[in-house]
Structure 1
Amino acid sequence: MASGWAKDGAVQEQIDSTVEDGINEARQRLQQRGPSLEFCEACEAPIPQARREAVPGVRLCIDCQAEADRNDTHRAGYNRRGSKDSQLR
């Protein structure tokens, strides 16, 4: 339910746009990685075959990837296109 000057469905459009941006970012990161590694590049633990097949170009074991995801500050956390500041420019 949109209110004020927003058109109907504006909130859902913001949500869809944010999800789409996240998917596109993840796809770009996967395409840059190349072949999967057999051993984690951070801790040298073996990467299971199932993980290598599920995630093409995987470079980290599950534990190291979880830590990297926690430390990833690249994501803004919200859709900037929907913020008031971006609408004023």
Structure 2
Amino acid sequence: MTQFTAVITDKIGLHARPATAIISAASKFESDVKIVSGSKNGNLRSIMNILSMQIKSGDEVTIIAEGSDADAAVAGIKEAMISAALIEG
């Protein structure tokens, strides 16, 4: 299992555009990937899961990957989040 934690810096929070970028990045890997924020968690391959979490600016999120390419999955998702200006690099 590999994970990283970050604070959402996008002033709108985790909305559809960056969620789509994250899903695209997550779909490139075989590992099971999820996002956790507070007591909520969601599948990083489901836009409905992600958007229903209502993650706001300033919320802390943890990305968790489990599987054979977990390290690469976390690195790829983190890069997608930075590129989408969702978190700071």
1 or 2, which has the higher strand percentage? 2
Q: What band does the TM-score fall into relative to the shorter chain?
A: under 0.3
Q: TM-score, normalised by structure 1?
A: 0.28
Larger Rg: 1
Using CA pairs under 8 Å that are at least 6 residues apart, name the structure with larger relative contact order, 1 or 2: 2
Q: TM-score, normalised by structure 2?
A: 0.28
1 or 2, which has the higher helix percentage? 1
